[in-house]
A and B are shown apart, each in its own frame.
Chain A
Amino acid sequence: MRKLMQWYRLAAVAAAIGTLGCKSLEVANPNAPDAARAFSDPGAVAGLVTGAMRNWFNTRGTYYGAETLDMMADNYSSSWNNMNNRYYSSYGPVGTFQANCPQRCGWVNNTSDPKRLWVEGLWYGYYGMLSSVNDVLTAIRKNHLDLGGDEATNQAEAASVLLQGVVFAGIALNYDKGFVVTDNTDISNPTTIPFRPRAEMRDSAVAFLQHAIDLLAAHPFAKAPSTWFGTVNGIQYSSTQLIQVARTAQAEALAMFARCLTGCPTASDNDAATDWGKVATYAAQGVSSGAGFDFTFFQDGGVLYDWVKGWGNNFGDVRVDSRVVHLITAGPDPSRVHHDPWTAVELSPNATDKRVGDGTFGPTDAYDGPTTFKADAGHGTDYAYTPSFRFNPLRGPAHQSNLTHVRYIACTSSFGNTNRCQNPVYSQQVNDLLWAEGLIKGPGGFAQAATLINKTRVNRGGLPALTGGEGKPALLAALQYELEVEDMGMGDLPFYNRRRETPYNWPAPGTAAISYSVGGPGDPRAAACPSILCLWPGTPRHQPVPAKELSVLVKELYSFGGPIDDDVTGPAASSAAIRSNGEPIFSARQIGAALNKKRPSGVTHQ
Chain B
Amino acid sequence: MKRSSAFTVAALLALVAGKAQAQATITGKVTDVRGEALGGAQVILRELASFGATTASNGTYTIVVSADRAKGQSFTLVARYLGKAPSTKAVTLNAGRQEVNFTLKDDPLRLDELVVTGVNEATSTKKLPFAVGKVSADQIQDVPGTTALGALAGKVSGVRVETASGDPAGAPSIRLRGATSISGSSQPLIIIDGTISRATLADIASEDIDRIEVIKGAAASSLYGSDAANGVIQIFTKRGKNLADGKLLVTVRNEAGASWVSKEIPATQTHAYRLKDSLTSTGATVQTFDRDASGAVQLKPDHIQDQPWPVYHDHQKEVLHPGMFYTNYLSIGQRRGATNFNASFENTHTEGVIFGLKGFGRQNFRLNVDQQLTPRVDFELSTFYGRSNNNPLTDPRGQQAGQLGPFFEITFVPPVVDLFAKNDDGTPFRAAIPDNWTNSGNPLYDLSVIKRNADRSRFTGGGRMRWRMTDWLTSEANYNFDQERDDYNDLTPFGVLFADGSSGPGSLNRRSFTGRTYNTGATLTATKTWSGITNTTKASYIYEDQTSSQTSFSASALVVKSVPEGAAADPSTITAGSSDQTIRNRNAFAITTFDIRDKYILDGLVRRDESSLFGSNQRMSYYYRLSGAWRANEDLKIKGFDEIRLRASYGTAGLRPGFDYQYETLSVSSGSFSKTTLGNKELRPAHSAELEVGGNIEMGGGRFTLEYTFSRKETKDQIQLVSLPSVVGFTQQWKNVGALQSKTHELSLGYQVINNRDMAWVVNLVGDRTRQVITDYPLPEKLNSFGQQPAVFFLGKGASLGVMYGEKFVRNISDLYANPSFAACRATTCPDANFVVNEGGYVVSKASWQCGETKINLATGAACPSAERLIKYVQCSKGTIADCKATTTTVKIGDANPDFNASFSSTFNYKRFSVYGLLDWTQGGNIYNGTRQWKFINNFDSIEDQRAVPAASKKSQDYFGALYNSLTPLDFYAESGTYAKIKELSVNYTLIRSQLAKVGLGSLDAVRLGIVGRNLLTFTKYTGYDPEVAGLDGDPYQFRIDWFSYPHYRTFTAVVEIAF
User: CA of A283 to CA of B887 in the docked complex: distance in angstroms?
Assistant: 45
> By DSSP majority rule, is chain A's interface helix, strand, loop, or mixed?
loop
- The answer to whether B520 and A574 have CB atoms under 8 Å apart is no
Given the known inter-chain contacts A33-B666, A114-B783, A606-B966, please indicate yes or no for A578 contacting B890, CB distance below 8 A: yes
- The answer to whether B890 and A369 have CB atoms under 8 Å apart is no
User: CA of A17 to CA of B523 in the docked complex: distance in angstroms?
Assistant: 11
Q: A575: CB under 8 A from chain B?
A: yes
Given the known inter-chain contacts A54-B672, A95-B871, A97-B869, please indicate yes or no for A27 contacting B583, CB distance below 8 A: yes
Option from A33, A97, A190 in Cβ contact (under 8 Å) with B965: A97
**A1-25 interface code vs B (CB 8 A; 1 in, 0 out):** 0000010011001101100111111
**A126-170 interface code vs B (CB 8 A; 1 in, 0 out):** 011011101100000000000000000000000000000000000
Chain A residue contacts of B580, Cβ below 8 A: 30-31
B935 → A minimal CB distance (Å): 13
Given the known inter-chain contacts A97-B961, A388-B294, please indicate yes or no for A190 contacting B780, CB distance below 8 A: no
Chain A residue contacts of B866, Cβ below 8 A: 93
Chain B residue contacts of A22, Cβ below 8 A: 543, 586
A53 nearest in chain B by CB position: B672
- The answer to whether A112 and B726 have CB atoms under 8 Å apart is no
Q: B829: CB under 8 A from chain A?
A: no
- The answer to whether A388 and B667 have CB atoms under 8 Å apart is no
Q: A300: CB under 8 A from chain B?
A: yes
- The answer to whether A132 and B299 have CB atoms under 8 Å apart is no
- The answer to whether A13 and B869 have CB atoms under 8 Å apart is no
Q: B915: CB under 8 A from chain A?
A: no
Interface hit among A44-52, A259-267, A322-330:
A44-52
Option from B584, B845, B872 in Cβ contact (under 8 Å) with A24: B584
Given the known inter-chain contacts A112-B783, A582-B779, please indicate yes or no for A370 contacting B294, CB distance below 8 A: yes
Given the known inter-chain contacts A27-B584, A47-B673, please indicate yes or no for A13 contacting B296, CB distance below 8 A: no
B: contact size bracket = 35 or more
Chain A residue contacts of B163, Cβ below 8 A: none
**B510-545 interface code vs A (CB 8 A; 1 in, 0 out):** 000000001011100000000000000000011101
- The answer to whether B869 and A95 have CB atoms under 8 Å apart is yes
User: CA of A95 to CA of B843 in the docked complex: distance in angstroms?
Assistant: 11
A591 nearest in chain B by CB position: B728
Chain B residue contacts of A232, Cβ below 8 A: 572
User: CA of A577 to CA of B781 in the docked complex: distance in angstroms?
Assistant: 9
Interface hit among A376-384, A525-533, A543-551:
A543-551
- The answer to whether B878 and A112 have CB atoms under 8 Å apart is no
- The answer to whether B295 and A123 have CB atoms under 8 Å apart is no
Chain A residue contacts of B543, Cβ below 8 A: 17, 20-23
**A281-294 interface code vs B (CB 8 A; 1 in, 0 out):** 00000000000000
A525 → B minimal CB distance (Å): 15
Q: B285: CB under 8 A from chain A?
A: no
Q: A222: CB under 8 A from chain B?
A: no
Option from B673, B780, B805, B968 in Cβ contact (under 8 Å) with A44: B673
B1043 → A minimal CB distance (Å): 12
Chain B residue contacts of A111, Cβ below 8 A: 780-782
Chain B residue contacts of A29, Cβ below 8 A: 659-660, 663, 665
Q: B479: CB under 8 A from chain A?
A: yes
A544 → B minimal CB distance (Å): 13
- The answer to whether B678 and A573 have CB atoms under 8 Å apart is no
Q: B995: CB under 8 A from chain A?
A: no
Chain A residue contacts of B542, Cβ below 8 A: 21
Given the known inter-chain contacts A55-B674, A131-B727, A582-B780, please indicate yes or no for A34 contacting B665, CB distance below 8 A: yes
Given the known inter-chain contacts A34-B664, A112-B782, please indicate yes or no for A13 contacting B522, CB distance below 8 A: yes
Option from B296, B545, B668, B729 in Cβ contact (under 8 Å) with A131: B729
Chain B residue contacts of A505, Cβ below 8 A: none
A90 nearest in chain B by CB position: B966
Option from B293, B475, B728, B886 in Cβ contact (under 8 Å) with A573: B886
User: CA of A50 to CA of B666 in the docked complex: distance in angstroms?
Assistant: 13
**B258-287 interface code vs A (CB 8 A; 1 in, 0 out):** 000000000000000000000000000000
- The answer to whether B725 and A371 have CB atoms under 8 Å apart is no
Chain B residue contacts of A395, Cβ below 8 A: 961
- The answer to whether B575 and A302 have CB atoms under 8 Å apart is yes
User: CA of A132 to CA of B573 in the docked complex: distance in angstroms?
Assistant: 27
- The answer to whether B665 and A86 have CB atoms under 8 Å apart is no
Chain A residue contacts of B672, Cβ below 8 A: 47-48, 50-52, 54, 227, 303
User: CA of A395 to CA of B303 in the docked complex: distance in angstroms?
Assistant: 13
- The answer to whether B726 and A14 have CB atoms under 8 Å apart is no
- The answer to whether A392 and B966 have CB atoms under 8 Å apart is no
Q: B477: CB under 8 A from chain A?
A: yes
Given the known inter-chain contacts A35-B666, A553-B725, A564-B887, please indicate yes or no for A23 contacting B584, CB distance below 8 A: yes
- The answer to whether B781 and A17 have CB atoms under 8 Å apart is no
Q: B70: CB under 8 A from chain A?
A: no
**B956-998 interface code vs A (CB 8 A; 1 in, 0 out):** 0110011011111000000000000000000000000000000
A574 nearest in chain B by CB position: B886
Interface hit among B52-60, B144-152, B233-241, B610-618:
B610-618
Option from B408, B475, B518, B889 in Cβ contact (under 8 Å) with A20: B518
User: CA of A14 to CA of B541 in the docked complex: distance in angstroms?
Assistant: 10
User: CA of A368 to CA of B434 in the docked complex: distance in angstroms?
Assistant: 11
Option from B299, B668, B869, B938 in Cβ contact (under 8 Å) with A32: B668
Chain B residue contacts of A553, Cβ below 8 A: 725
Given the known inter-chain contacts A81-B967, A553-B725, please indicate yes or no for A578 contacting B477, CB distance below 8 A: no
**B651-686 interface code vs A (CB 8 A; 1 in, 0 out):** 000000001100111111111111110111100000
B760-808 at interface with A (beta carbon < 8 Å): 777-783, 785, 788, 791, 794, 796-797, 805
- The answer to whether B781 and A581 have CB atoms under 8 Å apart is yes
Q: B877: CB under 8 A from chain A?
A: yes
A: contact size bracket = 35 or more
B738 nearest in chain A by CB position: A585
- The answer to whether B725 and A369 have CB atoms under 8 Å apart is no
A80-107 at interface with B (beta carbon < 8 Å): 81, 86-87, 93-97, 100
Given the known inter-chain contacts A345-B293, A367-B502, please indicate yes or no for A303 contacting B557, CB distance below 8 A: no
Chain A residue contacts of B821, Cβ below 8 A: 94
Q: A594: CB under 8 A from chain B?
A: yes
B880 → A minimal CB distance (Å): 13
Q: B747: CB under 8 A from chain A?
A: no
Chain B residue contacts of A575, Cβ below 8 A: 877, 886-888
User: CA of A604 to CA of B616 in the docked complex: distance in angstroms?
Assistant: 43
- The answer to whether A132 and B660 have CB atoms under 8 Å apart is no
**A438-474 interface code vs B (CB 8 A; 1 in, 0 out):** 0000000000000000000000000000000000000
- The answer to whether A128 and B725 have CB atoms under 8 Å apart is no
Q: B485: CB under 8 A from chain A?
A: no
Given the known inter-chain contacts A97-B961, A114-B783, please indicate yes or no for A17 contacting B477, CB distance below 8 A: yes
- The answer to whether A128 and B675 have CB atoms under 8 Å apart is yes
- The answer to whether B611 and A578 have CB atoms under 8 Å apart is no
B837 → A minimal CB distance (Å): 15
User: CA of A38 to CA of B673 in the docked complex: distance in angstroms?
Assistant: 8
**A218-252 interface code vs B (CB 8 A; 1 in, 0 out):** 00000000010001100000000000000000000
User: CA of A303 to CA of B575 in the docked complex: distance in angstroms?
Assistant: 10
Q: B755: CB under 8 A from chain A?
A: no
Chain B residue contacts of A371, Cβ below 8 A: 294-295
Q: B863: CB under 8 A from chain A?
A: no
Option from A35, A387, A606 in Cβ contact (under 8 Å) with B967: A606
User: CA of A314 to CA of B730 in the docked complex: distance in angstroms?
Assistant: 35
Instruction: Pull 28 A–B residue pairs with CB atoms less than 8 Å apart, ordered by A.
Output: A6-B469, A17-B541, A20-B520, A21-B586, A25-B611, A33-B666, A33-B673, A44-B673, A47-B668, A87-B966, A112-B780, A128-B675, A132-B674, A369-B296, A389-B296, A392-B939, A394-B961, A418-B573, A420-B572, A549-B726, A551-B723, A552-B722, A576-B886, A577-B886, A584-B778, A586-B733, A591-B725, A594-B681
Instruction: Name the 3 nearest CB pairs between A and B, nearest first.
Output: A131-B729, A21-B543, A111-B780
- Other CB < 8 Å A-B pairs besides A17-B521, A32-B660, A93-B866, 12 of them? A31-B579, A33-B668, A34-B663, A34-B679, A134-B729, A388-B295, A392-B438, A418-B573, A547-B780, A578-B783, A581-B781, A594-B680
